[in-house]
């Protein structure tokens, strides 16, 4: 059973330890996050959760008191959109079917705000397992932006996926 808890300073070391390279960090956090992942970078993310309304909410997924996953929602309140971002499963826990139960809870969190009508995400085109997971959850591909970032001499494309608020 996975439980979401608000992301806190006590989780920084565990999350930072999940990424072993610049490419790992970019795959997780996009071009604005850098390797090694530092407490300063994580605190900046956490600080965005303290505004009203929040700009970002961050969670750790826990299983039997162990951190097994992480995900964030960034809010664009003026457009009624939340962006699912910075999703990770701990390397030692990957392949155990934890992503879908964790993300179902995150999706519920996004849509508990009545003004949020759309949930979107960006995923790099080379991350086929993540795309498959998102499709299983009901996300649909909206478009692909070519060559959005260069990593280790290779250009990565970004796929935008989206879902509307489920009808009751």
Per-chain mean pLDDT for the chain = 98
The 3-class secondary structure across 71-125, one letter per residue, is: EEEEEEHHHCEEEEEEEEECHHHCCCCCHHHHHHHHHHHHHCCCCCCEEEEEEEC
Residue 79 and residue 49: Cα distance in Å, rounded?
Answer: 18
pLDDT in tens, 107-155: 999 999 999 999 999 999 999 999 999 999 999 999 999 999 999 999 9
**Residue 64: pLDDT band by 50, 70, 90 thresholds?**
very high
Domain spans of the chain?
3-117
Stated pTM of the model: 0.96
Q: Report the top-level CATH class of 3-117.
A: alpha beta
The pLDDT of residue 168: 77
Average pLDDT estimate for 16-24: 98
Check: CB of residue 77 under 8 Å from CB of residue 53: yes
């Amino acid at each position: 059973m996975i439980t979401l808890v608000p992301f806190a300073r006590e989780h920084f070391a565990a999350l930072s330890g999940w990424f072993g390279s610049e490419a790992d960090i970019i795959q997780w956090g996009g071009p604005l996050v850098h390797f090694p992942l530092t407490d300063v970078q994580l605190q900046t993310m956490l600080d965005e959760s303290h505004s009203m309304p929040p700009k970002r909410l961050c969670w750790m997924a826990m299983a039997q008191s162990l951190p097994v996953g992480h995900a964030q929602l960034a809010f664009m309140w003026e457009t009624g959109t939340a962006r699912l971002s910075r999703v990770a499963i701990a390397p030692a826990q990957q392949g155990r079917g934890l992503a879908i139960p964790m993300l179902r809870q995150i999706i519920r969190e996004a849509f508990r705000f009545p003004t949020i009508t759309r949930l979107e995400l960006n995923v790099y085109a080379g991350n086929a397992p993540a795309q498959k997971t998102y499709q299983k959850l009901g996300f649909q591909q909206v478009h692909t932006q070519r060559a959005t970032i260069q990593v280790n001499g290779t250009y990565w494309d970004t796929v935008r996926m989206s879902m509307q608020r489920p009808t009751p």
